[in-house]
Chains A and B, each alone.
Chain A
Amino acid sequence: MDQLSALEDQSIYIFREAFNKIDKLAMLWSIGKDSNVMLWLARKAFFGHVPFPVVHVDTSYKIPEMITFRDRMAREWGLEMVLGQNRAALDDGMGPQRGRITCCTALKTDGLKAVLAEQGYTAVIAGIRRDEDGTRAKERVFSPRGLNAEWDFRDQPPEFWDQFKTTFPPGTSLRVHPILHWTELDVWKYIRRENIPVVDLYFAKNGKRYRSLGCAPCTAPTESTATTVDEIITELERTRTSERSGRAQDKVSEDAFERLRAGGYM
């Protein structure tokens, strides 16, 4: 058995556990490569079906190509899409000029909390990975969230032998992380093996490409000449810069990302 198949089997197992154990389950769809790999894995787990809705939190600042791609995929794959947006904050003029962390919290975290509450989801599947950042490296596969969606990283439940925490007090919720154990390189190798569609922004144009996709004002493309999946893989095998290096909100201070995540960010 090769590494990619081992990763895939483990992810399928997690998807099936979540689907069996959780009544109101949804998947977060950021439209990035990781979300698309997750959708693909869900279809593997459920024999071509995606048996839960996909939630997209629209900050209104997404790069336009992402929205076009989202709507095309939703149609082609027959997804039940649920859109969330923090309208009140946007009407009030929320944007990165108010501070990147403030903006991220309002438009993404609060936007997410609102749509989860509105729809009554008790667990959401999110495509975070341990290799992205030091706090994500400490995550659980089934990660409980408090009454206000906050993450108590100082006291996480034990999780071993693939026996996940699937019961939790009323009012609290879960995040499920089926690709926590994957790396960026694994994701691209799997995209190559399975031929999974991804948005064009990942491929280099004029010497730059996006390594990680977020909102336009806070996501910068990185230097690259990789125009195909193969070239991206070769590039990643050599690089020593980190994936989220193009994400401005992480760099506001040493603990900026930790605080974002403690507050309920993915």
Chain B
Amino acid sequence: MNAIVGLSQTELRLPIVIVGHVDHGKSTLVGRLLNDTGSLPEGKVEALREMSRRRGMPFEWSFVMDALQAERDQGITIDTTQVRFRTAVRPYVIIDAPGHKEFLKNMITGAASAEAALLVIDVQEGALEQSRRHAYLLHLLGVRQVAVVINKMDMCDFSAERYQAVSDGILGYLSEIGVTPSAVVPVSARHGNNVVERCRHMAWYTGPTVTEALDAFTAAKSLAHRPLRLPVQDVYKLDERRIIAGRVESGHLKIGDTLTFLPGGRTATIASLESWNEPTPRTEAVAGQSIGITLDQPIFVERGHVASLAEHRPVETHTLRVHLFWLGHEPLTVGRRYTLKVATAEHDVTVQAIERVIDVEDLSNHNGDRVERNGVGEVVLHSRSAMVVDDFVAVARTGRAVIVDGYDVVGGCIIQQPKADEMPARNLIATGHTVTADERAWVNGHLGGVLWFTGLSGAGKSTMAMALERELFRKGIQVYALDGDGIRQGLNADLGFSPDDRTENIRRVAQVGRLFAEAGVIVVTALISPTRADRAVARRIGGRHFHEIHISADLAVCEARDTKGLYRKARAGLIPEFTGVSAPYEPPLTPELTLHTGGQTVEDCLAELVAYVERTLIRPARQGGSGANTGEP
């Protein structure tokens, strides 16, 4: 078979989705379309008449599609339906979608496989909420061919003015989201005007009928000449052969091609294309084909890997910026973990940031910490495993993903200009391990670090350390708080409070902090550490990981708080060399950050801390607007 040449897509069924607001006449239009093209089976019209009569309704064309009893009884489409029919030009799969917002997941189910769409709008109502939402989602899903159908023209005496007004309204919205419809067809679905037959009452309209508009859509473009992407679906060991099975999602391949498998980048050459019961053995394959290949070398390959040609590889990254639609009952929130499915790969991802929430009604952008059910937004996702992806616009099949929560699909997203992990510039020192600090940082999505809190007893070091630990943990960050009191009971149980012992205490905590930081963790220490000399030692040990953070409050404030009752004891002379009372506290001269816990609430301090950590450890190379780890190459 000569796959590359034999690419005619014209006989393939063109999938068309019918979308729009509830009750605007989508199912009626499909029923009518099937009838008027002679596609209904014998006896169907009589059966419909009987069903309508039994329910005391006038003849209902929507019953052709609305096959469930609940749908007929309530006069509403619940789930999407697919039917086949053909015009003189080509065969179609018509996908009827429900308009009610409760069933948006079913609308997406239908629309996601469409090449083109009809957006049905009731002339009496104009574009309503779901008309806009559906239009927006079509665009997001990558359905670029759209025709608008203005329905129920019989209800406005086929008025050209009404048509024009509704048409102007929707065209304005569509142009804002970058959609130019191929036609705006005035119809009466119920009566079959301008569906297949041209309508006498609308002589003022000279554009295409519905079937003409369908036939004017172009067939799906072949993906054969796009970059090769073969996501591995499975590996079978059969009769001594090790067959890598998968579907060519884009591009083409042939025996002798050298494939690069990502993540990892191992390479091998295609030794054979395996198949069963083919008239002649396969030597090549193109986009759309489910194939099996063997390689010339036994390299490690598993489900989720993506094969490509060396010159046009997909991107390997731990962080993605995506445009998503959300279907979950629980809103999407920062810090939540989900499973991301891209082609055949699955990744545990954490929502790192919500960059904007989009109101599809008026297309305004908002800041927010959640994307609600049926909402749309742009978010940053981070995965601990390397993800192999493409920009949706360049290679759609590996540029889109679904999001799973527990057992359920809760959303879908398209990937926007993914960037390969960059070496964070501040992180170049080799550790001598096989796993480098950079690799740990990519996997974790942040750098390790020591946040060295210093300040008087009662200034709020432990409170802030614990609050920060909780908050960073919620964001999916590897974090651990080392509290001075705890350390003194364990690691440093042998030390007392003499100046030498205090210095040794700090040296040990600094060493432990550094190990944590090198292991990729953000560690927060909460020790009074009163002398500049001791903190200088800690800074030398911590090196580039070290961040001195002054938790500052006036002695009077601390003493008034006296949370542990220590000041009272110290004043009574029961604690010798108590910092602030009988021993000096030397405030840092150039700390990385100072928090004034006396004048600010815990929440405000926490926000300042989190912002500092984001800036220095989570997205150190962040360039305006784009995602994490996306510094200039």
Contact = CB atoms under 8 A, between A and B. Distances in A.
A135 B13 contact: no
B177 interface: no
B68 A258 contact: yes
B172 interface: no
A157 B409 contact: yes
Nearest to A12: B290
Nearest to A40: B277
A47 B243 contact: yes
A47 B41 contact: no
A20 interface: yes
A117 interface: no
Contacts of B292: 47
Contact of B68 (A1, A135, A159, A240): A135
Interface in A242-257: 242, 254-255
Interface stretch (B103-111, B116-124, B307-315): B103-111
A206 interface: no
Contacts of B317: none
Contacts of B13: 3
Contacts of A240: 38, 40-42
A17 B232 CA distance: 11
Interface in A211-259: 240-242, 254-255, 258
Interface stretch (A54-62, A79-87, A160-168): A160-168
A9 interface: yes
Nearest to A257: B67
B165 interface: no
A45 interface: yes
Given A153-B68, A194-B277, A254 B51 contact: yes
B563 interface: no
A133 B41 contact: no
Contact of A1 (B12, B51, B82, B91): B12
B67 A137 contact: yes
A77 interface: no
Interface in B200-245: 233-234, 236, 238, 241, 243, 245
Contacts of B3: 1
Contact of B69 (A8, A43, A183, A258): A258
B234 A19 contact: yes
A44 interface: yes
A194 B12 CA distance: 19
A120 interface: no
Nearest to B233: A16
A161 B400 contact: yes
B84 A131 contact: yes
Contacts of A10: 290
B277 A163 contact: no
Contacts of B67: 133-135, 137-138, 258
B233 A168 contact: no
Interface string A131-150: 10111011010000000000
Interface stretch (B73-81, B180-188, B460-468, B590-598): B73-81
Interface string A2-16: 110110111011001
B41 A153 contact: no
A3 B105 contact: no
A169 interface: yes
Contacts of A171: none
Contacts of B199: none
Interface string B36-54: 0010111100000001001
A160 B286 contact: no
B555 interface: no
A137 B11 contact: no
A140 B106 CA distance: 10
B57 to A, nearest CB: 14
Contact of A137 (B6, B83, B238): B83
A235 to B, nearest CB: 14
Contacts of A9: 247, 288-290
Nearest to B246: A16
A160 B490 CA distance: 54
A160 B113 contact: yes
A133 B70 CA distance: 16
B295 to A, nearest CB: 16
Contacts of A161: 112, 400, 402, 412
A154 interface: yes
B131 to A, nearest CB: 20
B289 A1 contact: yes
A138 B70 contact: no
B171 interface: no
Contacts of B400: 161
Given A157-B409, A254-B69, A16 B42 contact: no
A2 B3 CA distance: 11
A163 B402 contact: yes
Contacts of B566: none
A10 B287 CA distance: 12
Nearest to A183: B84
A205 interface: no
A72 interface: no
Nearest to B105: A158
Interface in B10-49: 11-13, 38, 40-43
Given A3-B12, A20-B303, A160 B407 contact: no
A154 B100 CA distance: 13
B308 to A, nearest CB: 19
A158 B236 contact: no
A13 B274 contact: no
Given A9-B247, A254-B69, A160 B108 contact: yes
B115 to A, nearest CB: 13
A10 B6 CA distance: 18
A45 B290 contact: yes
B83 A1 contact: no
Interface in B268-313: 274-277, 286, 288-290, 292, 303
B520 to A, nearest CB: 30
B479 interface: no
Contacts of B632: none
A23 to B, nearest CB: 14
B409 A154 contact: no
Given A3-B13, A47-B276, A160 B402 contact: yes
Contact of B106 (A45, A47, A158): A158
B81 A49 contact: no
Nearest to B66: A134
Contact of B108 (A43, A45, A130, A158): A158
Contact of A168 (B82, B327, B341, B407): B407
Contacts of A135: 67-68
B623 interface: no
Interface in B147-199: none
A45 to B, nearest CB: 7
B415 to A, nearest CB: 12
Shortest Cβ-Cβ A-B pairs, 5 listed: A134-B67, A160-B112, A12-B290, A158-B105, A242-B41
Interface of A: 1-3, 5-6, 8-10, 12-13, 16-17, 19-20, 43-49, 130-131, 133-135, 137-138, 140, 153-154, 156-161, 163, 165, 167-169, 181, 183, 194, 240-242, 254-255, 258
15 contacts: A9-B288, A45-B245, A46-B238, A133-B67, A134-B67, A137-B81, A138-B79, A156-B79, A158-B412, A159-B109, A161-B400, A163-B409, A167-B404, A183-B84, A242-B42
Interface of B: 3, 6-7, 9, 11-13, 38, 40-43, 51, 54, 65, 67-70, 78-84, 91, 93, 105-106, 108-109, 112-113, 233-234, 236, 238, 241, 243, 245, 247, 274-277, 286, 288-290, 292, 303, 327, 341, 400-402, 404, 406-409, 412
